[in-house]
Amino acid sequence: MDRVLDFPSSADSAGELHPRLVELRSQDSLPRVLLADGQEAWLVTRHEDVRTVLNGRSFTRDVMGVRARRSGQEPGSARSVNMDGRPHTELRALVSRAFAVRRIEAMTPRIQSWTDDLLDAMEAEGPPADLVAHLAVPLPALAICELLGFPVEDRDTLSGWCDRITAIGDGAPDQKAWLELTSYIERQVPVKRAARGDGLAPDADILTRLVHAHDSDNALSLEELLSLTVVVLAGGLETTQTAISAGMLRLFRNPEQLDKLRADPDLVVPAVEELLRYQPVIDVNRVQIATEAVRLGGQQIREGDLVQVSINAANRDETVFPDSERCDITRGPNPHLAFGYGAHHCLGAALARLELHTAFSTLLRRFPNLRPAVPPESLSWRGGHVTLRLEELPVAW
């Protein structure tokens, strides 16, 4: 068995893909890595192998359920989005309508209006201004609060709780933050119940729909309602917040690509796909467990072994992406895995894309001379979380 390595974090390499991941991807067999919680896992870095794991035929994210069954115990009765098959499909169906492409497209004017208002405030403050605080953090928070049906004035508090529950390592996740967040959601339930009355409007927010499913259809328990709401909230916040700020920094670091986008704003669509491929956003993907013995990447994996995929490494696999170490906003096709793959493909992909298209297009239109106000190498990156985060991005124009 290969020696155990510490998991390489992009937070340790200024938001760049950790060079060790590139080295490990070229090995003949899978290495063993030590995760932040002290467990060991096989590290999967090649595009084809990562897709195999995410496809779910021999692996699952339901680690606790598999371990319970292997020890002869019955897993808890509550369903989780980490499960596969029918439980996952049933829970996903309860929120999927809110993230349908046509529903998200209808939000375009709202996303644009929020973006304009946020940039108005940034412009009024004058340079240098922190793009993280002025745009990257509040825009996704406004959008996901509206979709869920939470008061937008609570977005900072909600973001703070999500920041604490997505920490990894010793003492994580923060159970106090989890209890505070779920208690907040539980207090919203009777409010939604009273506002709903006897019917359910076609454009009802997500929490109202979940309350209706709990009350009228007996389709989910309160525990499931709370955990599903947390998943949607956290998924809609941190990843897009990082993608906006780190994506803009990536363009600053590649001025020839930024010039192309300024010259041809229609390139924003392939540019966003390339930034999602190239720029690490999620630092540590959810660990999986093998449900059967399987050979993967030249390595025999035993049933019950943990497997840690690196989507960031897979997105630089030169066998899939020619000239993979080059950021090219005209790249196509671009089968990146930033939103996952298979049954667990990110529900919020359409919303994230809309926010990213709007943010980059509006920024470059309104501030044609937008530039970093400090050397990029001086910027600070947060580690110890599922998602990378650029702590601040001072800009001038």
The C-alpha R_g of the chain, in whole angstroms, comes to 21
The model's pLDDT over 194-223, given as tens digits with 9 standing for 90+, comes to 887 767 787 899 999 999 999 987 789 999
Would you state the structure tokens that stand for residue 346, as one six-digit string? 């990110």
**94: Cβ contacts below 8 Å, ≥ 6 apart:** 209, 210, 213, 219, 220, 228
Three-state DSSP at 381 gives strand
> What is the predicted pLDDT for the residue at 252?
98
**How far is residue 195's CA from residue 201's CA, in Å, rounded to a whole number?**
11
pTM across the whole model: 0.95
* Amino acid, res. 104: I
Query: What residues of the chain score a pLDDT lower than 70?
Result: 1-3, 198
Q: CA nearest 178: which of 163, 159, 160, 165?
A: 165
Would you state the structure tokens that stand for residue 309, as one six-digit string? 């995929």
**15: Cβ contacts below 8 Å, ≥ 6 apart:** 246, 249, 279, 280, 379, 381, 388, 390
Within 10 Å of residue 100's Cβ, how many Cβ atoms?
Answer: 12
Strand residues in 222-376 grouped as ranges (E)? 288-290, 294-296, 299-301, 306-309, 371-372
**How far is residue 204's CA from residue 277's CA, in Å, rounded to a whole number?**
33
Within 10 Å of residue 20's Cβ, how many Cβ atoms?
Answer: 19
The model's pLDDT over 324-338, given as tens digits with 9 standing for 90+, comes to 999 999 999 999 999
Burial label for 16, CB within 10 Å (0-12, 13-18, 19+), is middle
Distinct helix (H) and strand (E) counts, the chain: 16, 13
Scanning the structure block, which residue is given the tokens 């371990």? Answer: 67
**How far is residue 10's CA from residue 14's CA, in Å, rounded to a whole number?**
7
Q: Which domains does the chain have, with CATH numbers?
A: 4-396 (1.10.630.10)
> What is the predicted pLDDT for the residue at 77?
78
Instruction: Using a pLDDT cut of 70, give the percent of the chain over it.
Output: 99
29 neighbors 297 (Cβ within 8 angstroms): yes
> What is the predicted pLDDT for the residue at 1?
45
